[in-house]
Amino acid sequence: MGSKSSTLLQEEDISDIQQETGFSHNQIIRLYSRFTSLDKGGTGTLSREDFLRIPELAINPLGDRIVHAFFDHQSSDDDVNFRQFMRTLARFRPQKNKEKKDTERVHLNSREEKLRFAFKMYDLDEDDKISREELLAVLHMMVGANISEEQLGSIADRTLSEADKDGDSKISFQEFQEAMERVDVEQKMSIRFLN
């Protein structure tokens, strides 16, 4: 089952990806198999359209924003290769106790990296600040027409008033981190990957 795709991935590539992302050998092989099944063109890369064929992303109200995160490393709409795919997925890998204690290097699945990923979901214009308009746009994506414009505006205003410490009517990453201080980001932004 996956033997074809696993033979195309070299052992040295697996070792490099393990070192960079923290995924196990078996997890990398399984994710490579999934990656190649999404690669309908057989190019070794995934396009935005390939991602949008994933049913869970297609129905997720933030699916477009999540897909955008896979392409965030580039200025154009080029496709994503397997290593780029794995780097993005690594942000959702649960932390092991050993990684939590390792303060010498920043892990892709660290609290800070998870928060950066979440921050980028809201920072639509990529100016490193979240404005009221961006908050409203993301709230619209998440709840659709289920609550009124007035209620959405109230939520955005309250969020800004609580998080905006420097009074510029925007939320910086630092302010976002502080606002999320009590949230168990490690748990909420982790996916259990099969071994």
Q: What is the 3-state secondary structure (H, E, C) of the chain?
A: CCHHHHHHCCHHHHHHHHHHHCCCHHHHHHHHHHHHHHCCCCCCEECHHHHHCCHHHHHCCCHHHHHHHHCCCCCCCCCEEHHHHHHHHHCCCCCCHHHHHCCCCCCCCCHHHHHHHHHHHHCCCCCCEEEHHHHHHHHHHHHCCCCCHHHHHHHHHHHHHHHCCCCCCEEEHHHHHHHCCCCCHHHHCCCCCCC
Cα–Cα distance, 48 to 70 (Å, whole number): 9
Helix pair 11-21, 82-90: axis angle to 10 deg: 30
Q: Residue 3 — pLDDT band, cuts 50, 70, 90?
A: very low
User: Residues 156-187: pLDDT tens digits?
Assistant: 999 999 999 999 999 999 999 999 999 999 88
pLDDT of residue 41: 86
Per the listing, tokens 């890998």 go with 93
Do 109 and 99 meet the contact criterion of CB atoms below 8 Å apart?
A: yes
Per the listing, tokens 């290097």 go with 105
pLDDT of residue 4: 43
pLDDT of residue 186: 84
Q: Residue 14 — pLDDT band, cuts 50, 70, 90?
A: very high
Per the listing, tokens 């009517």 go with 169
pLDDT of residue 100: 59
Cα–Cα distance, 161 to 155 (Å, whole number): 10
pLDDT at 6 > cutoff 50 = no
pLDDT at 22 > cutoff 50 = yes
Question: Which one-letter amino acid corresponds to residue 102?
Answer: D
Q: Residue 46 — pLDDT band, cuts 50, 70, 90?
A: very high
User: Residues 59-89: pLDDT tens digits?
Assistant: 889 998 989 888 865 555 589 999 999 999 9
Cα–Cα distance, 20 to 15 (Å, whole number): 9
Cα–Cα distance, 79 to 44 (Å, whole number): 9
How far lies 81's CA from each of 7, 35, 186, 192, in Å? 17, 9, 26, 22
Q: Which domains does the chain have, with CATH numbers?
A: 1-90 (1.10.238.10), 110-195 (1.10.238.10)
Which residues lie closer than 8 Å to 110 by C-beta, 6 or more apart? Answer: 95, 99
User: Residues 136-155: pLDDT tens digits?
Assistant: 999 999 998 889 999 999 99
pLDDT of residue 96: 77
Mean per-residue pLDDT, 55-61? 88
pLDDT of residue 105: 54
pLDDT of residue 7: 44
User: Residues 85-106: pLDDT tens digits?
Assistant: 999 999 999 887 665 565 555 6
